[in-house]
Amino acid sequence: MSADRPDPAEFVDDRDTGEIDPYDIVPDTFCRDWRATSIPEALRTAERAPSTTGATEQQRCPECASIRIRRKSDAVEMAHKRPEAYTCLACGAHFDEPDAAVEASRAGEQATLREVTRE
């Protein structure tokens, strides 16, 4: 390994990507909102930001109630690919439809005292 490797925190993607916004869809305030000087810099910052959708509003894995689910790509066909449309990155489960956000919103929460009944 070389000691001359650049620091990943200081990495700058200087590839020429041509026109950044060819379809003029980036809002005029995008760079200012993300405190950046360019669209690529603002995108990097925005991609690292936490989700603005609350965890209780996000779809969940029906097996473990995790919000770390991904839709499988239809672009790549592999012999070992399972037919289900989604996979859970937390537990590895495969499923056709994630649990609805409203139904699963309390899946991982602890019961309150009012919900606990004595036998």
Distances (CA, A) of 38 to 24, 28, 93: 14, 11, 39
pTM for the model stands at: 0.46
What local confidence, expressed as pLDDT, does residue 53 receive?
A: 83
What local confidence, expressed as pLDDT, does residue 113 receive?
A: 45
User: Where would I find the H helices in the chain?
Assistant: 30-33, 39-48, 101-104
Tens of pLDDT along the chain (119 residues) come to 556 776 767 777 666 666 678 788 999 899 999 999 988 899 999 999 988 888 778 889 999 988 889 998 877 777 777 889 999 999 999 999 998 864 434 444 544 444 444 43
Eight-state DSSP code of residue 78: -
Eight-state DSSP code of residue 112: P
What local confidence, expressed as pLDDT, does residue 115 receive?
A: 46
What local confidence, expressed as pLDDT, does residue 82 receive?
A: 85
What local confidence, expressed as pLDDT, does residue 69 receive?
A: 92
Answer for the pair 87, 70: CB distance below 8 angstroms, yes or no.
yes
